[in-house]
Amino acid sequence: MFTIDVMLKLAPLPLSVQRKTEEDASALYGQIHEAMKSGTPQLLELTCDRQPEKKICVLTSEVCAVQISEKSGGATSGKQPGFFAALTQTEA
């Protein structure tokens, strides 16, 4: 399972949706990336493969970052994937 985290301006936590395949996750990442590059505000509706009833609509001009991470099936080490984990680990 792949998680796509979307950070919004002035929001303390990311919005997250999941995709079952790397191809689907990369496609969504690309769609968000292109919307950010366009500079034209538009609404983007996101759905989640893990929880199909979970939907969210964001204004692309408010998106400041997007990342993909893979959730492994093994035991977790207690570390969060991505940029926030790197900041936390360097501060400790």
Predicted confidence (pLDDT) per residue in 33-58, tens digit: 999 999 899 999 999 998 888 889 99
Predicted confidence (pLDDT) per residue in 1-41, tens digit: 999 999 999 999 999 999 999 999 999 999 999 999 998 99
Map residue 19 onto helix, strand or coil. strand
Find, among 30, 34, 32, the residue nearest to 6 by Cα: 32
In angstroms, the CA 31 to CA 91 distance is 33
Map residue 23 onto helix, strand or coil. helix
Q: And the tokens for 32?
A: 């968000």
